[in-house]
Chains A and B, each alone.
Chain A
């Protein structure tokens, strides 16, 4: 099983600032990495797939990068609606699609 490790667990950021979230895979997942956003009481929402491709309707302030075992989600200028929990997920080791434990982005 591929283990996905996200850091930090919690990220405190002021509105308008940049946020950088990390996700590390225990073995290479190529570019088969997705990011999801989850707000309280809601289902997750797909943000990024293929490590760097934004899903339909996702604002350009969200960007993803990386390949192999190291990945990054960057939110260039945090808006109030971006404070949420973010999960990475690998889908290279199909069918066992494993998630990271999440990073909570909170208001500083």
Chain B
């Protein structure tokens, strides 16, 4: 069973860059799957941020594309999210996920607050 674990700062200053890493265990990030990030503002719904394949191919939500970078580190079996120029609207629980057509596995999520 593939398990995912997010890590990174829980507090980011406005205009700064949010950086999160997702460690994958119980499976290889080089498998034929996509790996994605989804976020959920407090009390609100889910928003797909983007995804990456082990080859490095990426797809991003057009609404965030100018600020998002997702990368993969096969040697560490992990992938990462960077979101630049953050504002309070980026405060959310961020989930890393495994995509097999649909999202089959989710990390527990990590709350990132944007505040000075």
Give chain A's interface residues, CB within 8 Å of chain B.
Answer: 1, 34, 36, 42-46, 49, 55, 87, 89, 91, 94-102
Contacts and interface: CB of A to CB of B under 8 A. Distances in A.
Q: Which of the listed residues A36, A42, A43 has the most CB atoms from chain B within 10 Å of its own CB?
A: A43
Nearest to A36: B103
Contacts of B48: 96-99
4 closest A-B pairs by beta carbon, nearest first, are A95-B59, A43-B106, A34-B102, A99-B46
Interface in B92-112: 95, 101-104, 106-109
A89 B102 contact: yes
A91 B102 contact: yes
Interface residues of B, number: 17
Given A95-B51, A96-B62, A99-B48, A43 B108 contact: yes
Interface of B: 45-48, 51, 59, 61-62, 95, 101-104, 106-109
Given A87-B45, A97-B48, A99-B45, A44 B61 contact: no
A101 B107 contact: no
Contacts of B46: 36, 44, 87, 89, 99, 102
Given A1-B62, A96-B62, A44 B45 contact: no
Contact of B106 (A44, A55, A87, A99): A44
B45 A102 contact: yes
